[in-house]
Structures are given as structure tokens and as C-alpha cells.
């Protein structure tokens, strides 16, 4: 006889509180449309009640813009009386927060209707709906993220970021130095605490590498056979990185393009698909000859223009693109080629996979994953061919054809019949309304550059 889920979850809470008797508080976390973590902080004595009855939060949590203000055109604010929904714990996400001075734990939540069914506007549920289509085919998704970020100084210069002084040399880095081990040593205490903190929280972060700009780094997450869990890990990793950096008197940014003339922050995702026997359907000695791999790539490339608003959801996202920064700007694929949108890494036949290289680190991981998986499913079920792989420099062979601004990307998403088969059109309406509101506010602002150019010259 199986044990009821609620009993299992209460046992999880009991075991955690017994292991950490010093814990005073628990942060209840839920990621909004922008991947920003929101929620409540409770005392440890209330944890059992959360597992038994959940907590109430307003549905408008998923209609917030990047500044945390409700976008009323979504219909999730005043139109419904700013009413509550109920949030329940996600199993196996209860963990300690290693950066807290007062012992505190954290627990991921997901939103449901009061009657119990998942709430349509929770990005985690948006992804779950796409994953179910693979379940129907008897396929399991194996996924992992690579997350890029900058360490930055806590003090900016005229509102702009700057690299932090090295705790070792006292100098600010100024050169690219990709993969340089010595640059890891300059910030070794902070970076090592990130890895150790991830281990303490059960986040499978297995490596940090120096990336393509001063004080820019990448954390690699190990693959898991659950794409929703992979996104949970990415959301929690961002929160961990931010808070560990604060402990070391530094700040961080996952902004897509924080510095002109320097590389942006990407969020690459690696995906393979397992059949009922656990075999990788992409496995092949010659990836070009694997029909499942070709069809999956074909679907991703065909839907890529319509995915862009989810992959690059902010005005700043589109500043990241440029050939010199290895950010693809056309629907292209290749084998072990970092100039394309979809790269097939070489290695053993069993490890053949898709590496999707378009999204920025400012993307919501759940919406990114839902978009890519929608493309893969579309390609597999419709046997879409991707054309020949690109050899050499894709930027010299393919003209930019992907949307290069948020407005065009939103139009592509809104008009896509294929994406509407995978992402609830009601959710697309909410997403587009939020992003159009942000875009309107951005376009109504006047930049310093405009004053410099036009105030006294026209």
C-alpha cells in the first residue's frame, strides 16, 4: 500500500526540523514570470501547517512586471479583486540557506486554484503542461543548464556597474581571459562558497569556469532526468549566487548585457530524450544520421522566432547579440559549433544531445525550457528536417533573421499557431500584456544619450 503524499511531505518536514533544530525561520519561495523569487517568511513552528494546508498568495503574483508592480491589463489584478490562490510545497526542495546569520531554511512552492488544480499562470505549470506531452509518448527528458553571471562591485559609477576589486590582489579585472584559472583564484573564496552552498542545498552544481569578460563566470549544473527539477535548480542557484556574493561584500548581475563591448550573460540548456528503456534516442556515432535528433532540431529551429520573447524577455536582452560574443542570431545548427543556435556537442555516442544557445541569463528557466521542449516535440511528431548543419562560421553564412527587439518577438509569439498548441493562449496573453507594459514604459522614458545628442543641437 502506498503512503499518502501528505504523509510523505510531513515526514520530510519532520526529518528536516530534527536535522536542523537551530532553524528559526523558513522562506517560502515561488518564482514569478521574470524568474524573480517572491513569497513569505514563516517561523519554524508554522512549517507543518504549510505542508498540511498550503499558504495563500494573490494570483497577481504572476502578473508582476520587472519592478514588482501588477500589470492590470493581464486581468489578474483588480479585475478579479486581487484574489488569492493557494500555494503548496514542492517535494524535496526544503533546504538550509547557508548565507543567513539567523538559521533559516527555504522551500519552493507552486500555485493552485482553491479547488486544487494547478494555476495556469504559474510558469512551473506552463512547463509541466509541455512535459506531459512527452509523458504521453513514453519519453523522459534529461536536462541541464549552464548559467552565466558577473560579479560586480556593490558601489556603482553613476548608476553603472563596475568589476569588484579582487580580494587577493586588490585590483579590478579589465581583460577577457576566458578559462583563466588564475582569475578563479582571485575570487576563490566566493566561488568556492557558491559550490559548497549548492552542495548543501542539494543543487547539482559541479563546476565553475571563468567566462569571456572581466569577473564573468559560469556555473554548470549536472543533468537530471526531470526538466522541471532542472529549472528548480536554476532558480535556486541564482538566489544562492546572489546571496553568497553579498556575504563576500560583492554583488552579482544576471542582466543579459550589463556592459557595452563585453560579452552578455547566457543561459544555455542541454537536452537529451530517453525512451522507456532509458536509452538516449539521440545517441549516434554519426549525429547527422539520427532521424530523431534531426527532427527535434528541425522543430526547435522552425519555432525559434516564436520562442524569442520567452528566451529573451527584456529590452536589454537583445543587446547581447553579436557575432563576436558567440550569440546566434539565426535559426542554425551544427556539430560541435559554437556559432550556431543549436549545437550538438561531440563525445561518446551515448552522450549526444542538443545544446540550445540562444537564451539570456535573464530568462525565466521554466518558460525557456517549455519553449525549447515545445519545439522538440513539434519536430519529433511532425518529422521536421532542419537542413544541413553549418560548418565553420555561421555568422558569415547566415543573415540575422531572428527577432532583434522585444516588440517583434512579442508579435511573433502572439501570432504563432504552433506555440499556442503547447503554451496556453491565456498564458501567452498574460505574458505579452506584462511585457508590452514594460516596453511602453521603457519607450516613454528619455535616456541621457538623447539629452546629450538633442537638447542643445536641434
Encode pLDDT of 107-130 as tens digits: 999 999 999 999 999 999 999 999
| In the chain, where the domains are located | 5-117, 131-423
Rounded-to-integer distance, Cα 76 and Cα 431, Å:
11
CA distances in angstroms from 452 to 249, 354, 446, listed in the order given:
34, 46, 11
pLDDT for residue 101 is more than 80: yes
CATH code of domain 131-423: 3.30.590.10
Question: Are the folds of 5-117 and 131-423 the same?
Answer: no
Q: pLDDT at position 381, please?
A: 98
Q: Are 418 and 377 in contact (CB under 8 A)?
A: no
Topology (CATH) of 5-117:
Ubiquitin-like (UB roll) (3.10.20)
Half-sphere exposure of 272 (CA within 13 A, CB side): 22
Which grid coordinates are listed for 62?
A: 504572476
Q: pLDDT at position 1, please?
A: 37
- Give pLDDT tens digits for 168-204: 888 888 766 655 666 778 899 999 999 999 999 999 9
- Give pLDDT tens digits for 336-395: 999 999 999 988 888 999 999 999 999 999 999 999 999 999 999 999 999 999 999 998
Q: Are strands 25-31 and 251-253 parallel, antiparallel or unpaired?
A: unpaired
Q: Find the range with the poorest average confidence among 6-15, 177-186, 388-397, 449-458.
A: 177-186
Name the helix (H) or strand (E) containing 234: helix 227-247
pLDDT for residue 400 is more than 80: yes
Say whether pTM exceeds 0.85: yes
- Give pLDDT tens digits for 265-280: 999 999 999 999 999 9
Q: pLDDT at position 2, please?
A: 42
Rounded-to-integer distance, Cα 270 and Cα 140, Å:
14
List Cβ neighbours of 162 (8 Å cut-off, separation of 6 or more): 152, 153, 155, 156, 172
Give me the mean pLDDT over the 147-168 stretch.
92
Q: Of all residues in the chain, what percent carry a pLDDT higher than 70?
A: 96
Report angle CA 283, 286, 287 to the nearest 5 degrees.
60
Amino acid at each position: 500500500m502506498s503512503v499518502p503524499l501528505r504523509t510523505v511531505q510531513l515526514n520530510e518536514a519532520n526529518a528536516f526540523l530534527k536535522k536542523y533544530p537551530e532553524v528559526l525561520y523558513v522562506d517560502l519561495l515561488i518564482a514569478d514570470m521574470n524568474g524573480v523569487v517572491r513569497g513569505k517568511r514563516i517561523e519554524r513552528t508554522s512549517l507543518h501547517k504549510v505542508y498540511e494546508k498550503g499558504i495563500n498568495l494573490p494570483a497577481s503574483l504572476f502578473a508582476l512586471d520587472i519592478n514588482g508592480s501588477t500589470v492590470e491589463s493581464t486581468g489578474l489584478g483588480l479585475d478579479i479583486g486581487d484574489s488569492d490562490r493557494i500555494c503548496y510545497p514542492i517535494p524535496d526542495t526544503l533546504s538550509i540557506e547557508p548565507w543567513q546569520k539567523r538559521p533559516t531554511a527555504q522551500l519552493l512552492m507552486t500555485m493552485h486554484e482553491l479547488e486544487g488544480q494547478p494555476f495556469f499562470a504559474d510558469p512551473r505549470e506552463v512547463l509541466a503542461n509541455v512535459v506531459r506531452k512527452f509523458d504521453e509518448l513514453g519519453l523522459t527528458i534529461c536536462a541541464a543548464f549552464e548559467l552565466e553571471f558577473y560579479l560586480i562591485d556593490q558601489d556603482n559609477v553613476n548608476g553603472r556597474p563596475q568589476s569588484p576589486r579582487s580580494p587577493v590582489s586588490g585590483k579590478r579585472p579589465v581583460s577577457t581571459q576566458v578559462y583563466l584559472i588564475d582569475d578563479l583564484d582571485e575570487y576563490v573564496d566566493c566561488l568556492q562558497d557558491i559550490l559548497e552552498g549548492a552542495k548543501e542545498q542539494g543543487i547539482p552544481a559541479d563546476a565553475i569556469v571563468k567566462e569571456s569578460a572581466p569577473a564573468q563566470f559560469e556555473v554548470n549544473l549536472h543533468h537530471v532526468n526531470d526538466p522541471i527539477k532542472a529549472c528548480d535548480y536554476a532558480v535556486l542557484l541564482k538566489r544562492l549566487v546572489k546571496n553568497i556574493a553579498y556575504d563576500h561584500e560583492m554583488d552579482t548581475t544576471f542582466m543579459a548585457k550589463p556592459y557595452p563591448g563585453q560579452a552578455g550573460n547566457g543561459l544555455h540548456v542541454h537536452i537529451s530524450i530517453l525512451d522507456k528503456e532509458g536509452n538516449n534516442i539521440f545517441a549516434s556515432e554519426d549525429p547527422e544520421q539520427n532521424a530523431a535528433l534531426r527532427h527535434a532540431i528541425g522543430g526547435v529551429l522552425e519555432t525559434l522566432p516564436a520562442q524569442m520573447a520567452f528566451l529573451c524577455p527584456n529590452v536589454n536582452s537583445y543587446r547581447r547579440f553579436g557575432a563576436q560574443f558567440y550569440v546566434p542570431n539565426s535559426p542554425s545548427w551544427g556539430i560541435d559549433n559554437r556559432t550556431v543556435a543549436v549545437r550538438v556537442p561531440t563525445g561518446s555516442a551515448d552522450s549526444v544531445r542538443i545544446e540550445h544557445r540562444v537564451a539570456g541569463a535573464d530568462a525565466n528557466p521554466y518558460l525557456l525550457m517549455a519553449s525549447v521542449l515545445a519545439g522538440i516535440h513539434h519536430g519529433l511528431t511532425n518529422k521536421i528536417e532542419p537542413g544541413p548543419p553549418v560548418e565553420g562560421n555561421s555568422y558569415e553564412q547566415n543573415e540575422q533573421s531572428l527577432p532583434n527587439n522585444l516588440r517583434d518577438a512579442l508579435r511573433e509569439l502572439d501570432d504563432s499557431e504552433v506555440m499556442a498548441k503547447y503554451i496556453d493562449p491565456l498564458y501567452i496573453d498574460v505574458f505579452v500584456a506584462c511585457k508590452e507594459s514594460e516596453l511602453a514604459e521603457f519607450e516613454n522614458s528619455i535616456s541621457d544619450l538623447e539629452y546629450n545628442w538633442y537638447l542643445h543641437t536641434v
